[in-house]
Amino acid sequence: MVKTLKRKFVISSMIAITTLIVLLLGAVNIGNIIIKKRNVERTLSVITNNAGSPPPMRNDESDAPLPPPTGFSREKNDYDTFMSSNFFFVKYDAEGNVVLTDTSRTSSVTEDKAKEYAESVLNSGDDDGKIGDYRYKIVSSELGDKTVIFLDTSGDIGDYLRVLVLSGLVGFLCEVLMLLLVIALSNRAIKPIAENMAKQKEFVTNAGHELKTPLAIISANAEAMEMINGENKWTKNIVTQVERLSKMTENLLFLSKMDEYVDNSNKVSMNLSEELRKCTESYIEPFSMKNVEYTTEIAEGLNITAKPDEIRKLINILLDNMLKYTPEGTFAKVIAEEDAGKVMFKTVNAVEDENIDTKALFDRFYRENKARTQEEGKSGFGIGLSVAKEIMEHHKAKIYSKVQDKNIEFIVEFKK
């Protein structure tokens, strides 16, 4: 149980840490994309505003150099932005004839290719957009001539990928370091809980063992009274309640033992079909006394790898639960089969009320409608199904229930 708790703590912590890292890295990469796009827009604006010619290198009034980039963003001035950009443009007159093709600011595009790009852009009908690795914009003058300017953005794609890869590597390293740190701190984090659980287990174990002796004495005295005075309703009630307490004590000790450790060394291959037949046959008479139509459909050769004692206990818990809560004059059924690579068996019986919390049924000390249960004499402490759940968890198998058409099913599934 402590190992399970530690594992859950590590998993929960890493999920939270991973989510935070992904959000942070996502914000970094999205921010980088937004900044790059803004820079592209600004560069394209500088080029278009100056009609493909360099802007002034110095201030018009003082003829002093333009100020260097300052501040957090450290953006270049218009001249440096223009001179560091790779672009080309194609000019058209009012009749749509090419009057100028300038590819001097790029080495990867010929004049013919530039004209081909420009024709494609003009035919698309969009004044700005992207074609290949180029961001384009169409500038029209009052005279009707047009200039199609293309800005090379291939370097930005490389920047996106570099930031993505580097941030991914940093995130991975942080993930590994945080995993090691969480594992190192997990023992300290769960220590108070582990100590409290250990005390609870010790109390349950000691109390269970202490109860065994007085229960045995009470049972022996009741039997002696019956031998001397004969059976009566008082001795019968004593025996019944002793059996209830003995069963509860046995289940509590079983749960306490299973919480302490999981021993898989004595799992063997067993024939589930044969075990089910042996267990179900012993319930024929009890169901008959309740006037319940009790049937079984058990397929041959259902083999599983498990602990026979625990599986036997599991089967008896489900059959006892079915016997206890099946209304008189209805039906009960046990089905075992192989389906989709799984060995499964289930108990099906009628219920009077469909409003049952099927998930809570496996909680310890849970009983549906406790007052009514006591009135009808359905003795139980709400611990049997929790024992069944523990057995299945230790076998890495599934147990669940569902209610429909006033029938309740408890389904057990084993992997082959």
Is the pLDDT at 376 greater than 60, yes or no? no
Is the pLDDT at 216 greater than 80, yes or no? yes
How confident is the model at residue 244, as a pLDDT?
75
Q: Is the pLDDT higher at 24 or at 37? A: 24
Q: What is the CATH number of the domain that holds 240?
A: 1.10.287.130
Considering the domain boundaries, does residue 13 fall inside one?
A: no
Q: Is the pLDDT higher at 216 or at 177? A: 177
Cα–Cα distance for residue pair 89/48, rounded to 1 Å: 10
Cα–Cα distance for residue pair 260/159, rounded to 1 Å: 55
Domain final residue, candidates 209, 236, 258? 258
User: 340 and 383: one domain?
Assistant: yes
User: 313 and 238: one domain?
Assistant: no
- pLDDT over 70, % of the chain: 84
Considering the domain boundaries, does residue 68 fall inside one?
A: no
Count of alpha carbons within 13 angstroms of residue 264, beta-carbon side: 6
How confident is the model at residue 413, as a pLDDT?
92
Least confident stretch, 55-64, 149-158, 160-169, 264-273: 55-64
Considering the domain boundaries, does residue 79 fall inside one?
A: no
Domain count, the chain: 3
When pLDDT is cut at 50, 70 and 90, the band that residue 381 belongs to is very low
User: 291 and 405: one domain?
Assistant: yes
User: 209 and 326: one domain?
Assistant: no
Q: Is the pLDDT higher at 369 or at 287? A: 287
The 10s digit of each residue's pLDDT in 268-279 is: 899 999 999 999
User: 271 and 411: one domain?
Assistant: yes
How confident is the model at residue 21, as a pLDDT?
93
Q: What is the CATH number of the domain that holds 321?
A: 3.30.565.10
102-130: buried (b, 16+ CB within 10 Å) or exposed (e) per residue?
A: bbebbeebeeeebeebbeebeeeeeeeee
User: 246 and 300: one domain?
Assistant: no
Query: What is the span of the domain harbouring residue 138?
Result: 86-152
The 10s digit of each residue's pLDDT in 338-357 is: 988 889 999 999 988 777 77
Domain final residue, candidates 152, 173, 198? 152
User: 251 and 289: one domain?
Assistant: no
Among residues 56, 47, 133, 57, the alpha carbon closest in space to that of 85 is found at 47
Q: Which of 75-84, 91-100, 170-179, 243-252 has the highest mean pLDDT?
A: 170-179
Considering the domain boundaries, does residue 179 fall inside one?
A: no
User: 230 and 193: one domain?
Assistant: yes
Residue with tokens 């000691």: 206
Q: Which of 52-66, 114-128, 353-367 has the highest mean pLDDT?
A: 114-128
User: 251 and 288: one domain?
Assistant: no
The 10s digit of each residue's pLDDT in 177-212 is: 999 998 888 888 777 777 776 776 677 667 777 777
User: 253 and 271: one domain?
Assistant: no
Q: CB under 8 Å to 215, separation ≥6 — which residues?
A: 242, 245, 246, 249
When pLDDT is cut at 50, 70 and 90, the band that residue 337 belongs to is very high
Q: Are 380 and 390 in contact (CB under 8 A)?
A: no
Q: What is the CATH number of the domain that holds 109?
A: 3.30.450.70
User: 377 and 274: one domain?
Assistant: yes
Considering the domain boundaries, does residue 336 fall inside one?
A: yes
Considering the domain boundaries, does residue 18 fall inside one?
A: no
Instruction: Specify burial of residue 275 (Cβ count, 10 A radius: 0-12, 13-18, 19+).
Output: buried
Domain final residue, candidates 152, 174, 192? 152
Helix (H) or strand (E) holding 294: strand 293-298
Q: CB under 8 Å to 322, separation ≥6 — which residues?
A: 332, 347, 349, 410
Considering the domain boundaries, does residue 248 fall inside one?
A: yes
Number of residues that this document lists for the chain: 416
User: 275 and 331: one domain?
Assistant: yes
Considering the domain boundaries, does residue 15 fall inside one?
A: no
How confident is the model at residue 177, as a pLDDT?
93
Other CB atoms closer than 10 Å to residue 347's CB: what's the count? Answer: 22
